[in-house]
């Protein structure tokens, strides 16, 4: 990895709101590097404040942001977070964060509206779970 790039004063990004099976709502913000057009930072916030889960999520977000600003491929960040589950089931905090980063990457790659991407994902997931 290369040295961490300096952070500009302001960055554009996406904030994705998702519900989990046991942690309530998670808000994942992914900022975009204006030069590369790739994700540069991740911020994770629980709908309810405080607690160990929020602290752990903040630590993971800081590590992911440091990696992204040092050349980590966003797809590798997603792979690292996908499939992490806990006693609450498979639709947990880290899985939702991985999905959210993936939604942002797909919007950047395709130019599609991120809300349409999320809606399509939710419909496909709902239809898959019915059968």
pLDDT digits (tens, 9 = 90+) for 69-92: 999 999 998 888 887 777 777 777
Residue 60 CA to residue 123 CA, distance in Å, equals 29
Backbone angles phi, psi at 120, to 5 degrees: -60, -40
Residue 84: per-residue pLDDT:
77
53-66 per-position pLDDT tens digit: 888 889 999 999 99
- Low-confidence residues of the chain: pLDDT under 50: none
- Report the 10 Å Cβ neighbour count for 19: 11
Adjacency order of strands within the sheet including 13-19: 13-19, 25-32, 39-46
Residue 130: per-residue pLDDT:
67
pTM metric for this prediction? 0.83
Residue 85: per-residue pLDDT:
74
Please provide the DSSP assignment of 97-114 as one string: HHHHHHHHHHHHHH---H
Residue 20 CA to residue 2 CA, distance in Å, equals 34
């Amino acid at each position: 990895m290369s040295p961490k790039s300096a952070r500009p004063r302001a960055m554009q990004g996406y904030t994705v709101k998702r519900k989990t099976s046991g942690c309530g709502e998670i808000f994942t913000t992914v900022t975009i590097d204006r030069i590369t057009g790739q994700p540069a930072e991740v911020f994770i916030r629980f709908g309810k404040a405080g607690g160990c889960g929020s602290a752990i999520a903040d630590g993971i977000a800081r590590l992911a942001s440091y990696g992204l600003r040092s050349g980590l491929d966003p797809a590798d960040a997603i792979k690292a977070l996908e499939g992490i589950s806990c006693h609450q089931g498979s639709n947990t905090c880290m899985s939702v964060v991985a999905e959210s980063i993936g939604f942002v990457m797909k919007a950047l790659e395709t130019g599609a509206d991120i809300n349409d991407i999320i809606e399509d994902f939710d419909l496909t997931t709902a239809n898959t779970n019915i059968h």
